[in-house]
Amino acid sequence: MTLIDPIPAQRTIGVQLAASSSDFPTQTHGLLCEIKEDGFRVRAVLDDHHRVQILLGRELTDRTGQLPYLEQTLKALLPPNTVLDGELTDPACGFAGVSAVMGSRLTHMPDPGGELHLVVFDVLAWAATPLHDHPQSVRSHHVDTLPQAPTLRRVRRLPPTRAAYEQAIAAGEEGVVLKHPDHPYRATRNAWVKVKPTSTHDAVVLDILHGSGRNTGRPQTLVVDLLDPSGAPSGRTIRASGLSDQEKDLAHSWIGQVVEIQSNGTTSTGLPRHPRFLRLRSDRSARPSSPRTSTPTAPAATGAWVRNYAACGTAKLARILAELEAGEGDAVDRIHSKGGDLQLNLQRAREAARAKGLL
């Protein structure tokens, strides 16, 4: 009798979740401490015939076949009847890159060598031996013995100390997950705690993006320019979501006003991570921008700088497009530094992606 035949039976084991905290606990002795990856939750299942199933998110949605290079890696390195729990990440583009691929924005994933990585942090079964009832320490030991490849990585661990946590945040990590070593794998939030910093940023509203479906014609997302320490617009533009229904009805009048944005710390580029609207700052206004002393790159014939997207390779273009769609990342920073228009660059990047068969 096999452990996971048929494969869909694995959905009967719920997804272990974590409680949330914005401050590192004082009592952490004996806990396991792991880097919190910024991506999509994935369960990878191999049955006794070495078939692979990729189950995405808390709902364990079947996305088998969307990541063929990862599935081939799992077949090559892991024994049958094995179940892994982990995070699908994009080292180049971060969450935006994973979202672009798994959101089916691309119909063809370039570079089968692997843009996305599976970072494994738990093993629910190994070679037909069930492990989900075993303590976390036993399952984590199995993680430590996993073979690695460019697209298959083990979770990174840290000492369970505030100093190690603060160093990780300073290095641009999203946060950490603390795990009790004696608990089995259960679909609860009792044994894991994710610790992520929250920070706030003042910004001036530049534009309002409208939603679709039931939100058609209603404000959905704010396009904002972060204010520098002097209170002047910095030229670093991001998109902030999180408007309530009541706020959506009021947001039309917010252009030019200052809002407070909350985020889970900052990315390696210094931009807010997962920015969301917190409140309207009716008590303050943005100062005029200081004159720039540097001369921007000469604009294109359209009047604004536009990157030559047709010259980009498919893998690079896919990464750039993911950042432009998300409104954050190195590609967005470069457009701002060159005096370019984000929407125009997004349009040109999409045109190049269609020409290369990516959309």
**pTM over the 0.95 mark:** no
pLDDT tens readout for residues 325-357: 766 667 776 776 666 777 788 888 888 888 877
- For 119-128, what is the mean pLDDT? 96
pLDDT tens readout for residues 127-170: 999 999 999 999 999 999 999 998 999 999 999 999 999 999 88
* Residue for token pair 């992520």: 196
Is the pLDDT at 302 greater than 60, yes or no? no
Q: Give the model's pLDDT for residue 100.
A: 67
> In 3D, which of 84, 86, 118 has the Cα closest to residue 101?
118
Token pair for 244: 């309530």
The single residue of 36, 179, 194, 338 carrying the catalytic annotation is: 36
36 is catalytic: yes
Q: Which residues contact 39 (CB under 8 A, 6 or more apart)?
A: 87, 88, 89, 90, 95, 98, 116, 119
Report the percent of the chain where pLDDT is more than 70: 84
Residue pair 115/319 in contact (Cβ under 8 Å)? The answer is yes
> In 3D, which of 341, 258, 343 has the Cα closest to residue 300?
341
**Which domains, from first to last, does the chain contain?**
7-195 (3.30.470.30), 199-280 (2.40.50.140), 309-355 (no CATH)
Is the pLDDT at 9 greater than 50, yes or no? no
**What is the distance between the alpha carbons of residues 40 and 103, in angstroms, rounded to a whole number?**
11
Q: Which residues contact 294 (CB under 8 A, 6 or more apart)?
A: none
**What is the distance between the alpha carbons of residues 304 and 307, in angstroms, rounded to a whole number?**
10
